[in-house]
Amino acid sequence: MKIAFWIVAFLLLFLDGHTQYKRKGETLQTRGNSSVGTKKKADFSLEQLRGRWQEIQRLDRVNGQPVPFNDSIQLYFSDSNKVKTRTSVATGMTMEGEAEIDPDNTLTAAADVYLIKSLNDSLLILDDNDKFIHRLRKMRRFWYESLGKTSIQSVNYVVAVRVDLSNLIGDWRIYRRKAKPGTMENTTLIRNLNILKRENASTARGNIVFYRDQAIQQLPCVVTLVDTTLTIIADAHKWTLSTYQADKNNFVFGNKDLVYFSKR
């Protein structure tokens, strides 16, 4: 009996000394032997995230198609590994908390958790592990912070010109606006116009991203070009604009009060 007792005791001590444990954010280690297992590091760092990030596109997680949204995610990572999160909805609440990246590239941003799919100096792609993929762009300031701070210049484009609809196919990003004083107050401002497919000689379909009252929305749209008049319809929203220039890389459009300058 004594021999059996000591054999059982020895086996229990042996197994306990080689039991494996895993905590969140750590690779599998063997207890009692620090030389076994190498701690895995995340592919991204909080230093890369420092600054402001604004959601510019939302994709269906299953089919990868763009989906409409009006609650653009805004993330602000500070130097002290803190993060402020909010959406562009005017009544949205700002959350502040710790920022952390686990070795499996899981990002914890205050109360939100995402998987980092890709990150470079200007673009962050997050998977919410539920329904959507979120594409965020690095910003000097958020859209609502820039309102009223952009220098207003007089509008020089007064004569509309005819352009070919085929020249408008592409993803146009607004990089500058010219407006008369007071024009941008209570105005629905276009941020991006992605014209995807030409339907006929005068009509095309695509997606539009626009901004109003601190809220960014992305919606499918129909674009119609008749003579020098460009009409964009997205749900209940409608823009009637004139075309001033359209070539391989530049598209200028607007009206006598507000002109958009865009590139693709």
Any idea what the CATH number is for the domain that residue 175 is in? 2.40.128.20
> Domain check: are 57 and 114 in the same one?
yes
> Domain check: are 57 and 129 in the same one?
yes
- Quick check: is 196 in a domain? yes
Return the pLDDT at 153.
44
Structural domain count, the chain: 3
DSSP designation for 114: E
- Quick check: is 138 in a domain? yes
For residues 235 and 227, the answer to whether their CB atoms sit within 8 Å is: no
> Domain check: are 51 and 141 in the same one?
yes
Residues 6+ apart with CB under 8 A from 16: none
Return the pLDDT at 50.
92
Residue type, 24: K
Residue from 213, 208, 210, 209 nearest 186 by CA: 213
> Domain check: are 201 and 235 in the same one?
yes
Q: What is the pTM of this model?
A: 0.49
The strand pair at 82-87 and 95-101 is best described as antiparallel
CA 117 to each of CA 99, 128, 198: distance values in angstroms, whole numbers, following the listed order = 17, 10, 32
Any idea what the CATH number is for the domain that residue 82 is in? 2.40.128.280
Residue from 214, 87, 86, 95 nearest 146 by CA: 214
- Quick check: is 154 in a domain? no
Return the pLDDT at 110.
84
- Quick check: is 30 in a domain? yes
**φ/ψ of residue 6, rounded to 5:** -70, -30
Return the pLDDT at 56.
87
Which residues in the chain show pLDDT less than 70?
1-39, 88-93, 143-158, 182-186, 213-214
- Quick check: is 239 in a domain? yes
> Domain check: are 188 and 237 in the same one?
yes
> Domain check: are 207 and 251 in the same one?
yes
Q: Tell me which residue range forms the domain holding 26.
A: 1-40
- Quick check: is 243 in a domain? yes
C-alpha span between 9 and 114 (Å, rounded): 46
In the numeric block, which tokens belong to residue 232? 């964009």
- Quick check: is 203 in a domain? yes
Return the pLDDT at 183.
61
Give how far the C-alpha of residue 225 lies from the chain's centroid of Cα atoms, to the nearest Å: 29
> Domain check: are 99 and 24 in the same one?
no
> Domain check: are 100 and 173 in the same one?
no
Residue that finishes a domain, picked among 145, 178, 196: 145
- Quick check: is 221 in a domain? yes
